[in-house]
RNA sequence: GGAGCUGUGGUGUAGAGGCCUAACAUGCCUGCCUGUCACGCAGGAGAUCGCGAGUUCGAAUCUCGUCAGCUCCGCCA
């Protein structure tokens, strides 16, 4: 690049620049060699522009262009010319112009890439991840990464305007019980001791409130050593914040404003506020999910009472033993084949449903193998409850409430997908509030926090913490977008007594509580303001904005489902010497050599 | 920990016991071509069908195992 300097990104140029001498840099997207005339589409992150090489313009440049191949890195000096009317390419942003090149520099050659650098690709993800640097060259991925930047910029600007301070918290911190598995980091100078990478900056941001910073935020990496999913990576990014002297309402209102602002700023999308709010109970009852997708209807209906009195032993038995019988009306699905219904039954079984009863509503009335067990008025109750019309297909699950909700909740979404009821361009937000504080974990045989152990119970419910913990509501809230949990938070406990009570409820001994969270309990005694906060999953937010199915498409360097990085080959083995320094021995059982 | 799907030239697919000496498209290489934009035309190279066992006279094709990627359950806010 000696003696020349880039003058423009390629799509900054238009007919307005005709006649100008420009210097452009970028990659060879495609080359079209006509023998006596060569076209090269030059690509930079902004887009494409057509370079024209002709012996009439410069023989040396033309000779070089003959040797150029895909993905070569070029610097081209040339003049912007208007294309003749019939050669204008409406598909290109710069399609009205082209660059007649008078000097070409090949800054670097490139091997033939293993896949096309183009918008649509259905290349095996294996290969995309191995050659991530090439995958990231694709316009689609470039847009995702740029969108991600715009989102963080918008959120940062918004929070700055609202008086938040961006403050960093440690990456090397202590392991705590509760919540996800920690990623551990051995301490060389403290043999046998480990740091944990943060699952979230939870404790630190609360301490910052104790310190009087009042409003904190951070766009921060978090780590959880759990199994991966399309929307779950071991390291992910949160837009994390905490505020002093706030109530639930304050947080919800401010966040609605932030979301609307961010969507507008980053993507030009208008978001309607306020968002509908559901209590946890209502969400579970109506949608069978604590992250309801509001882009379509098909709500769950409860027929437990009808079923309890019926002669259908399967339903009546479940109802009698504290279970539920609920159903969903698959509108217009009466034409489903036996196989389709079987497939849906198998689908429901994944979520623990032992069966999927159904009634087909025909022009001649309801038809089903189970109808004979129901009395006339019971059938009418069901049909009325569903507002069933000819053409409908009614599904039922009878089981304990959690299985009914899970299976029907999932079935509802599956049916909507199958029937294409989901408009991909719609963004439906919701708040889910009044989560239970704790739930009983059968495996651990103790109460566990649904949100986390620092979530404040409703003032009125504190009295039930000793007697009926399941009844205690938390001052917690989740934000849901299109059936995806986007974020969550709560008003926190800010006094030592309640916090100790919470630890005790979770089965933590006084000693253990002091050992793990003593600093927190102590801090609470030095003038802690009431405070609360929320954290958004940035990856999921950007994924939904970009209309992608996985957060891997909005993370530059994601990991595979088995938590490996196919480009760097992390995690990798380390030398014996490194292990010795860290005072670590590998048990041979599962470790591969 | 479990269930399912996928794996065939560089890439995307076809082939589903013998017609395979593995096909098609694209990419790649060579030549021709001064208005293309997925340029075109002609020719060429390129695959022990993820890996390992087994069944069979015969396996890309069937069986078992294994590895990798993906989706989901469990797990995880």
Burial of A353 (0-12, 13-18, 19+ CB in 10 A): buried
Residue A495: CB less than 7 A from any atom in strand B:
no
Q: What is the pLDDT of residue A321?
A: 92
CA distances from A390 to A5, A97, A134, A361, A363 (A): 72, 60, 54, 5, 5
Is A92 within 8 Å of A45 (Cβ atoms)?
A: no
List A229's β-bridge partners, or say none.
Answer: A232
Alpha helices in A293-428 (DSSP H): 304-309, 313-320, 338-350, 376-386, 401-418
How many CB atoms lie under 10 A from the CB of residue A377?
10
For the CA of A228 and the C1' of B71, the distance in angstroms is 11
Query: What is the rounded distance in angstroms from the CA atom of residue A287 to the CA atom of residue A328?
Result: 10
For the CA of A124 and the C1' of B21, the distance in angstroms is 30
For the CA of A124 and the C1' of B14, the distance in angstroms is 18
How far, in whole angstroms, is CA A178 from its chain's centroid? 22
pLDDT tens across the length of chain A (593 residues): 788 999 999 999 999 999 999 999 999 999 999 999 999 999 999 999 999 999 999 999 999 999 999 999 999 999 999 999 999 999 999 999 999 999 999 999 999 999 989 887 789 999 999 999 999 999 999 999 999 999 999 999 999 999 999 999 999 999 988 889 999 999 999 999 999 999 999 999 999 999 999 999 999 999 999 999 999 999 999 999 999 999 999 999 999 999 999 999 999 999 999 999 999 999 999 999 999 999 999 999 999 999 999 999 999 999 999 999 999 999 999 999 988 999 999 999 999 999 999 999 999 999 999 999 999 999 999 999 999 999 999 999 999 999 999 999 999 999 999 999 999 999 999 999 999 999 998 888 899 999 999 999 999 999 999 999 999 999 999 999 999 999 999 999 999 999 999 999 999 999 999 999 999 999 999 999 999 999 999 999 999 999 999 999 999 999 999 999 999 999 999 999 999 999 999 876 544 43
For the CA of A117 and the C1' of B38, the distance in angstroms is 13
List A194's β-bridge partners, or say none.
Answer: A186
Residue A395: CB less than 7 A from any atom in strand B:
no
Q: What is the pLDDT of residue A1?
A: 79
CA distances from A167 to A170, A242, A538 (A): 10, 11, 17
Among A447, A495, A443, which residue's Cα sits nearest to residue A468?
A447
For the CA of A562 and the C1' of B60, the distance in angstroms is 28
Q: Which residue has the tokens 């890195």?
A: A73
Return the closest nucleotide (C1') to the Cα of A478: B77
Residue A347: CB less than 7 A from any atom in strand B:
no
For the CA of A100 and the C1' of B65, the distance in angstroms is 61
Q: Which residues of A in 518-577 have their CB below 7 Å from strand B's atoms?
A: 535, 549-550, 552, 560-562, 564, 566
Q: Which residues of A in 284-343 have their CB below 7 Å from strand B's atoms?
A: 290
For the CA of A75 and the C1' of B30, the distance in angstroms is 27
Q: Which residues of A in 465-494 have their CB below 7 Å from strand B's atoms?
A: 476, 478, 485, 488
Residue A276: CB less than 7 A from any atom in strand B:
no
Residue A269: CB less than 7 A from any atom in strand B:
no
State which residue has its Cα closest to the C1' atom of B26.
A116
Burial of A478 (0-12, 13-18, 19+ CB in 10 A): buried
User: In this structure, are strands A300-302 and A47-53 parallel, antiparallel, or unpaired?
Assistant: unpaired
Q: What is the pLDDT of residue A121?
A: 76
For the CA of A15 and the C1' of B55, the distance in angstroms is 71
Which residues have CB under 8 Å from A321's CB, separation 6+? Answer: none
State which residue has its Cα closest to the C1' atom of B73.
A350
**ipTM of the complex as predicted:** 0.93
Q: Which nucleotides of B are covered by protein (CB under 7 A)?
A: 1, 10-13, 26-29, 32-40, 68-77
């Amino acid at each position: 690049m000696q003696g020349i300097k880039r003058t423009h990104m390629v799509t900054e140029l238009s007919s307005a620049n005709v006649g100008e001498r420009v210097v452009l840099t970028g990659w060879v997207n495609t080359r079209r060699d006509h023998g006596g005339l060569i076209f090269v589409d030059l690509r930079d992150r902004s887009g494409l522009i057509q370079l024209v090489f002709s012996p009439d313009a410069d023989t040396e440049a033309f000779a070089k262009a003959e040797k150029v191949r895909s993905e070569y890195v070029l610097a081209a000096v040339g003049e912007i010319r208007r294309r003749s009317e019939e050669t204008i390419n409406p598909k290109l942003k710069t399609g009205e112009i082209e660059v007649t090149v008078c000097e070409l520099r090949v800054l670097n050659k490139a091997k033939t890439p293993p896949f096309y650098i183009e918008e649509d690709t259905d290349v095996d993800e294996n290969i995309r991840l191995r050659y991530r640097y090439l995958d990231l060259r694709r316009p689609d991925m470039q847009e995702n990464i740029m969108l991600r930047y715009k989102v963080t910029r918008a959120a940062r600007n918004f929070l700055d305007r609202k008086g938040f301070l961006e403050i960093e918290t440690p990456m090397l911190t202590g392991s705590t019980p509760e919540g996800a598995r920690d990623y551990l980091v051995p301490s060389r100078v403290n043999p046998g001791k480990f740091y944990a990478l943060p699952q979230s900056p939870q404790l630190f941001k609360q301490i910052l409130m104790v310190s009087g910073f009042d409003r904190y935020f951070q766009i921060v990496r978090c780590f959880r050593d759990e199994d991966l999913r399309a929307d779950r990576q071991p390291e992910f990014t949160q837009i994390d914040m905490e505020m002093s002297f706030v109530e639930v309402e304050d947080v919800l209102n401010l966040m609605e404003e932030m979301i609307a602002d961010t969507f507008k700023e980053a993507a030009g999308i208008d978001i309607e506020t306020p968002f509908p709010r559901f209590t946890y109970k209502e969400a579970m009852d109506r949608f069978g999910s604590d992250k309801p997708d509001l882009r379509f209807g098909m709500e769950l209906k409860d027929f437990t009472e009808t079923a309890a009195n019926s002669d259908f032993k399967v339903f009546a038995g479940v109802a009698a033993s504290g279970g539920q019988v609920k159903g969903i009306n698959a509108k217009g699905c009466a034409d489903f084949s036996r196989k389709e219904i079987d497939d849906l039954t198998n689908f429901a079984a994944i979520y623990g449903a032992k069966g999927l009863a159904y009634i087909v509503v025909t022009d001649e009335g309801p038809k089903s193998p189970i109808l004979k067990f129901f009395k006339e008025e019971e059938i009418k109750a069901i049909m009325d409850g569903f507002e069933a019309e000819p053409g409908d297909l009614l599904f039922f699950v009878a089981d304990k409430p959690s299985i009914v909700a899970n299976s029907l909740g999932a079935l509802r979404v599956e049916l909507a997908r199958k029937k294409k009821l989901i408009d991909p361009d719609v963004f439906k937000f919701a708040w889910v509030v009044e989560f239970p504080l704790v739930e009983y974990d059968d495996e651990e045989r103790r109460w566990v926090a649904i949100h986390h152990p620092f979530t404040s119970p409703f003032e009125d419910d504190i009295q039930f913490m000793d007697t009926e913990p399941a009844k205690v509501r938390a001052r917690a809230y989740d934000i849901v977008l299109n059936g995806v949990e986007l974020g969550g938070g709560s008003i926190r406990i800010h006094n030592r007594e309640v916090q100790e009570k919470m630890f005790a409820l979770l089965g933590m001994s006084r000693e253990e509580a002091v050992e793990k969270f003593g600093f927190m309990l102590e801090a609470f005694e030095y003038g802690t303001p009431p405070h609360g906060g929320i954290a958004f999953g940035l990856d999921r937010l950007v994924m939904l904005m970009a209309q992608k199915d996985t957060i891997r498409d909005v993370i530059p360097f994601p990991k595979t489902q088995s938590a490996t990085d196919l480009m760097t080959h992390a995690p990798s083995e380390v030398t014996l010497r490194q292990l010795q320094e860290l005072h670590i021995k590998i048990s041979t059982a599962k470790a591969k050599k």
